[in-house]
Amino acid sequence: MKNLLVTATLFAALASPVLADKMEISPNGARKTALGPQANFTGTVMVESYFGANEDLPQTGALVTFLPGARSAWHTHPAGQTLIVTSGTGWVNEEGGKKHEIKPGDVVWCPPNVKHWHGATSSTSMSHIALSNVREGKNVTWMEKVSDEQYNAP
Amino acid sequence: MKNLLVTATLFAALASPVLADKMEISPNGARKTALGPQANFTGTVMVESYFGANEDLPQTGALVTFLPGARSAWHTHPAGQTLIVTSGTGWVNEEGGKKHEIKPGDVVWCPPNVKHWHGATSSTSMSHIALSNVREGKNVTWMEKVSDEQYNAP
């Protein structure tokens, strides 16, 4: 007999232990929200970890909220990342690219090793679910901050 | 020079061709909504494919909406599935388990080969993002329908 296991703890850690053969529910309200570290973000960014990687799932998931003007630093993902915008309006750009506006329901694929940033617009907040694939224990490589000039450029 | 490629087509097909080294935006409104096939669902279920698997991402993503009373058939996933509830209130259960209510922000992990179902409650709709991991080209194994007795059981 299997029983549905309601737990947030097993589910929240990167590289968590092997999961049992039971469904697990990580309830809303049971996960802490952390501030995005200043080394990797400009402005106020909130990160709520949805799930960590496990041996069946080489991926982490998080809800990331950017206040107006906030954005990630430039970065790459060793195994790619999918963003699903859930609220607000934001901007995304890649090196040498043109800035694009993203809105709820837009889905963005960032291929491995493409240098890019994402964040809110200068006047609106933006939240997205970030699904970051893990390769050799790593899901991101952080680089320099996005300057105001880069951020505000068209 | 890389440019951000705005496209829905490359992004929508399972086992799509190798993706270029550019970010891709699949905009909301550009993806068709399909009805969940009667063989695999009871009641009215809408499926909007968010992204297909590619060589960097052995996973499919979709927004699935269940009208009141609607649910999946019993099924398993060869490589597991993550559900992120986005609206409404639903139910989820596994074989031999107890039915659990799920609400927006709840995140459910279905380990590989655990027989289960998910859907709306009998009186409310429910939408979730379904992230289905792919193994050997397959992300689900469908089984028999969930009977009214099974669905309405506590």
Which of A7, A26, A49, A107 to substitute to test the interface with B, most B CBs within 10 Å?
A107
pLDDT (0 to 100) of residue B33: 97
DSSP-derived secondary structure for A82-131: EEEEEEE-EEEEETT---EEE-TT-EEEE-TT--EEEEE-SSS-EEEEEE
**Is A84 within 8 Å of B61 when comparing Cβ atoms?**
yes
Strand partners, B110: B81
| pTM for this entry | 0.87
Of A23, A107, A112, the CB nearest to B11: A107
At A67-103, the pLDDT tens digits run 999 999 999 999 999 999 999 999 999 999 999 999 9
- Contact indicator for A112, A79 with CB cutoff of 8 Å: yes
**Among A64-68, A116-120, A133-137, which is the least confidently predicted range?**
A133-137
Q: What are the sequence ranges of the domains in chain B?
A: 31-152
- Contact indicator for B119, B126 with CB cutoff of 8 Å: yes
Of A57, A103, A114, the CB nearest to B133: A57
Q: How many angstroms away from the CA of B85 is the closest CA of chain A?
A: 10
Q: Which residues of A touch B20 (CB under 8 A)?
A: 111
Q: Rg of the Cα trace of chain B? A: 16
CA-based nearest residue in chain B for residue A135:
B56
Domain made up of A33-152: CATH architecture: Sandwich (2.60)
ipTM for the whole complex? 0.86
Q: Rg of the Cα trace of chain A? A: 16
Which tokens hold the place of B108? 């459910």
Q: How many angstroms away from the CA of B43 is the closest CA of chain A?
A: 24
| Closest alpha carbon to B109 in B141, B135, B132 | B132
- Contact indicator for A115, A76 with CB cutoff of 8 Å: yes
At A127-144, the pLDDT tens digits run 999 999 999 999 999 999
- Contact indicator for A116, A74 with CB cutoff of 8 Å: yes
| Closest alpha carbon to A85 in A134, A120, A123, A48 | A120
pLDDT (0 to 100) of residue B147: 98
Beta strand B24-26 with A107-110: parallel, antiparallel or unpaired? Answer: antiparallel
- Contact indicator for B45, B67 with CB cutoff of 8 Å: yes
- All residue ranges of chain B with pLDDT < 50 are 1-19
Dihedral sign computed on CA atoms, order A81, A100, A104, A125: positive
Q: How many angstroms away from the CA of B57 is the closest CA of chain A?
A: 8
**Is B61 within 8 Å of A79 when comparing Cβ atoms?**
no
**Is A56 within 8 Å of B23 when comparing Cβ atoms?**
no
**Is A56 within 8 Å of B29 when comparing Cβ atoms?**
no
Select the CATH number that applies to the domain covering B31-152 from these four: 3.40.50.720, 2.60.120.10, 3.40.50.300, 3.30.70.260.
2.60.120.10
Residue A124 has pLDDT above 90, yes or no: yes
Nearest-angstrom CA–CA distance, B99 and B95? 10
pLDDT (0 to 100) of residue A44: 98
At A1-59, the pLDDT tens digits run 334 444 433 344 433 434 457 999 999 999 999 999 999 999 999 999 999 998 888 99
**Is B133 within 8 Å of A95 when comparing Cβ atoms?**
no
CA-based nearest residue in chain A for residue B85:
A28
Strand partners, A132: A60, A81
Q: Which residue has the tokens 């195994």?
A: A79
Residue A126 has pLDDT above 60, yes or no: yes
